[in-house]
Amino acid sequence: MTRFDCSLFHLNGFQRTANHGQLRRSILTLGAFTLCLLTLSGCGSRYFVQPQSQGTAIHLVPIEHVWSVQLTTQNAQLMKEQLLARIEDNIDLVATHGVTISANSASLSNAVAQSLAGTLTARGIEVIKLIDPAQPAKSLMVKVNYAEVVTEHCRPAKAEQFSVKKVGCYADNARWQSMINPQLMVDKTAME
């Protein structure tokens, strides 16, 4: 009977060892799976779309319309009429945003600018008249400045493609676009 007990002890010991090895393999497998899952989710988190990157992006794009003419004493009235015709073609734009008339201090361009400003003011259009000595002596320029609102629906950004214009709505995209397109930046003083 002692020998029988001893064999049971060895048999139970073997079973314990076998169960212990199986348990150890299961724990290692589970640990390896968990480690892989954590590694993949940690490295892949920057490739997944964050909820705040979806929606609508709003961009203000400054737009400037410029109409200019070269004046002589013979064509001054004709050029004024051509400018008025162009303004009339864009009356909605001009009436909404006003115009800036820029002329040299020369008497001819200054006189035509005064006359044009009077005509537009009588029609209820806001006019800003500038005397610009740097402008050529016999030229007259009419400008309309405004900001166009451009909206686009944001799509998920792709990994490391922050310079692509119409992908994603991250601050990096806006910053990058303002660096490579400085002409599209809105001048705050011009818009007020």
**Type and span of the H or E element at 63:** strand 55-70
* Cut 0.95: pTM above it: no
- In single-letter form, the type of residue at position 150 comes to V
Structure tokens at 106: 């020369």
pLDDT at 161: 61
Q: What residues have CB less than 8 Å from 61, skipping those under 6 apart?
A: 147, 148, 149, 150, 184, 186
Task: Identify the residue whose tokens are 């393999």.
Answer: 25
Q: What is the pLDDT of residue 164?
A: 56
Letter string b/e over residues 78-107, b meaning 16 or more CB atoms within 10 A of that residue's CB: ebbeebeeebeeeeeebeebbbbbbbbebe
What are the pLDDT tens digits along the chain (192 aa)? 444 444 444 444 444 555 666 777 778 788 777 776 666 665 555 555 454 555 556 677 788 888 888 888 888 889 888 988 998 898 888 888 889 888 877 778 888 888 888 988 898 888 888 777 777 766 888 888 888 877 766 666 566 665 555 555 555 666 676 777 776 666 555 444
- Is the domain 63-146 a CATH 3.30.1330.60 member? yes
The amino acid at 97: H
